[in-house]
Homo-oligomer: A and B are copies of this chain.
Amino acid sequence: MTSIAPMTPLEPAEQESFDASLRRRAKAVIPGGLWGHMNAARLPEGYPQYFVRARGCRLWDVEDNEYIDFMCSYGPMILGYGDEDVERAAASQRAQADIANGPAPCVVELAELVVTTVPHADWVIFAKNGTDATTACVTLARAGTGRRKVLVARGSYHGAVPWCTPSLAGVTAEDRAHLLHFEYNDIASLEAAADEAGDDLAAILVAAFRHDVRRDQELATPEFARAARALCDRKGAALIVDDVRAGFRLHLGGSWETLGVRPDLAAWSKAIANGRALAAVTGNDRFRQAAQEIFITGSFWCAAVPMAAAIATLHKLHATDAVGHMARMGERLRAGIEAQARRHGIGVRQTGPVQMPMILFDDDPDLEKGNLFAAAALRHGVYLHPWHNMFLSLAHGEAEIDQALEATDHAFAAVAQQYG
């Protein structure tokens, strides 16, 4: 029988905040303190790294500071943290079974619900990470077409494994040997990349809209979307929409439904189960056979609780017109920010869909104004992001938007004082 040393309790040391104490201890046992996109070292000073409570659209850090949250856990939260309907469905499924040697019946219910909700979908496969879904889409396109080249927009984020991750550390040239690049929304560059692929074009992989970090967002133009569809049809390639980040915020049937263009394959994750780990690949019948030939799986991909949560999430998204609500609240936030910026004499750019706000400042190449603005808003109880798109949810009501706008007014004043 083994034994382990008792752990030092997780509590603040003297003359050190609890957050600082946790960060210090984390640095010893987690490289850089935290992996990936949630590492607070990427954010201005003052941002908390750890959270102890989440309810509705509010978060509390370890010092018990309360924030109205406009990141929604970088997308997964769409109905509100701890949404009662989702929690009830999840708890009910958990009381029966979560993992087993196969799925629970709810996998069938969820699959039928997804196929009913997403017009292009004849079928669906579930996974855990958004990267699972984008990688599967690329594999499916290659298996279904017998070709290799995949066109991706320069700078688009499609996940965090060697073929797509932003850092090139540990990546070999071969990992990306069959990717060709185009500029988002640029039809000529898309066609040039397709020409380069020749008769080896397997797929065009395109984000629901251009939501690259540190730059203005761009909705896909209808002309671009139609050109991508036409090109895939002409070449016999697969059109893949990466809806991992945007999915269920622009249109429940897929973000490109707003453009009247349907993909062959789509990748989903983040908001599909209001925060429980789930991803999905949807596809049409052209790729059904390929989906049976590739082998993708994971230890937890059949877990029933996230599926029950997803069923409850999708039903509530349908029943509440969550997309319409997020659009209205996003408009309210955008109009308020716009008026404040004008009043303070500060130039800002708000781009992309209102449900997924991005606020960048004019003449701000190093994001100094944006960082100052976000840090000041944070001190006034609003969690914004200075250079990544943000997210609204069904839990953001008029009162929360208006409370947030009080904070941003203070934040604009801080920017005006420094840069006015």
Contacts and interface: CB of A to CB of B under 8 A. Distances in A.
A172 B143 contact: no
A172 B148 contact: yes
A98 B275 contact: yes
Interface residues of A, number: 126
Interface stretch (A105-113, A358-366, A392-400): A105-113
Interface string A278-293: 0000010000111111
Contacts of A13: none
B292 A108 contact: no
Interface in A41-60: 48-54, 59
B128 A101 contact: no
B129 A299 contact: yes
A167 interface: yes
A387 interface: no
A373 to B, nearest CB: 17
B109 A10 contact: yes
A56 B144 CA distance: 42
A108 to B, nearest CB: 5
Stoichiometry (number of copies) = 2
A351 B163 CA distance: 38
Interface stretch (A71-79, A184-192, A215-223): A71-79
A123 interface: yes
B101 A59 contact: yes
28 contacts: A1-B318, A2-B318, A4-B117, A7-B109, A26-B111, A29-B115, A30-B108, A32-B292, A34-B302, A35-B126, A36-B297, A40-B102, A49-B102, A51-B102, A52-B96, A53-B96, A53-B97, A54-B96, A69-B100, A73-B100, A77-B99, A130-B299, A131-B298, A160-B295, A169-B293, A170-B293, A174-B178, A277-B277
Interface of A: 1-5, 7-8, 10, 18, 22, 25-26, 28-32, 34-38, 40, 48-54, 59, 62, 69, 71, 73-77, 81, 96-109, 111-117, 122-126, 128-132, 135, 138-144, 148, 160-162, 165-167, 169-172, 174-175, 177-178, 244, 252-253, 269-270, 275-277, 283, 288-303, 306, 315, 318, 321, 323-324, 383
